[in-house]
């Protein structure tokens, strides 16, 4: 069964802490994505990657960075967490040629609370 | 820029009633369209997708959607709601620009009462 695994389902961090959210997929997908989900705002794209060591900014990249050192792993980094980054974070992956397939496979999400 | 609008952030139906969740897109070029479902405390999963092969698309769990180019719509329906259908539903569209990601609507929460 195909799988996207997010390392932490629930995290509580303090303002100013550095936060790492890890995502691993076992489908050999080229594309990986980080979304943020907030009530009433839907899913907003933070960053995505079409290849190892490659990244593209999404709609709301401010305050975030990403790392993709290996094909199967895509990490989201909050350099200095702030309370307005309290949210649900969703990782997803897809095969190359997004327009042709379009299907994203999602992890179960990481709910981050910043105090 | 491409966008997708879901009308109604919250829809409530009785068990056995028709489910209708609305989605409209803005595009001069027919895109690929998707419906995803998110059950409580889970990630999103694909419900169905339109890729221009047929305007009426059938998905999992008895859901279907019809692509109407003249109305730029892709509404999701199910003839008879079940309690297990309670979830959040997202419409998504492929962007006009190559090399960019799916664009999601803001979601519609479906509540089903007995």
Model confidence over B25-37: pLDDT tens digits? 987 666 789 999 9
Least confident of A61-65, A77-81, B50-54: B50-54
Burial class (CB in 10 A: 0-12, 13-18, 19+), B66: middle
Q: Are A55 and A110 in contact (CB under 8 A)?
A: no
Tell me if A99 and B9 make a contact (CB, 8 A cut-off): no
Q: Which of A52, A94, A26 is nearest to B100 (CA)?
A: A94
Alpha-helical segments (H) within A1-115: 98-101
Tell me if B32 and A41 make a contact (CB, 8 A cut-off): no
Tell me if A45 and B98 make a contact (CB, 8 A cut-off): no
Give the separation between CA B9 and CA B108, rounded to whole angstroms. 4
* pLDDT of A7 over the 60 cut: yes
* pLDDT of B53 over the 80 cut: no
* DSSP-assigned letters across all residues of B82-109: -GGG-EEEEEEE--SSTT---EE---EE
With CA atoms as reference, the chain B residue closest to A39 would be B106
Supply the pLDDT for residue A92. Answer: 94
More confident: A21 or B101: A21
Give the separation between CA A41 and CA A24, rounded to whole angstroms. 26
Q: Are A36 and B75 in contact (CB under 8 A)?
A: no
């Amino acid at each position: 069964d195909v799988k996207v695994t997010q390392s932490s389902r629930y995290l509580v961090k303090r303002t100013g802490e550095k936060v790492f959210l890890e995502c691993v997929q076992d489908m050999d997908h080229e594309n990986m994505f980080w979304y943020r989900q907030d009530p009433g705002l839907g899913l907003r794209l933070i960053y995505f990657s079409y290849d190892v060591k490659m990244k593209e900014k999404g709609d709301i990249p401010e305050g975030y960075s990403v790392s993709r050192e290996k094909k199967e792993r895509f990490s989201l980094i909050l350099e200095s967490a702030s309370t307005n980054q309290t949210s649900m974070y969703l990782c997803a992956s897809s095969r190359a040629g997004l327009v042709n397939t379009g299907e994203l496979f999602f992890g179960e999400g990481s709910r981050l609370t910043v105090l | 820029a491409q966008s997708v609008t879901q009308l109604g952030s919250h829809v409530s139906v009785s068990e056995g009633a028709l489910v209708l969740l609305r989605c409209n897109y803005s595009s001069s070029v027919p895109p690929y369209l998707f419906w995803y479902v998110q059950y409580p405390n889970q990630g999103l999963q694909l419900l169905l997708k339109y890729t221009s092969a047929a305007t009426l698309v059938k998905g999992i769990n008895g859901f279907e959607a019809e692509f109407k180019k003249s109305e730029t719509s892709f509404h999701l329906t199910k003839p008879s709601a079940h309690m297990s259908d309670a979830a959040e539903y997202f419409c998504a569209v492929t962007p006009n620009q190559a090399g960019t990601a799916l664009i999601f609507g803001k979601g519609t929460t479906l509540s089903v009462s007995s």
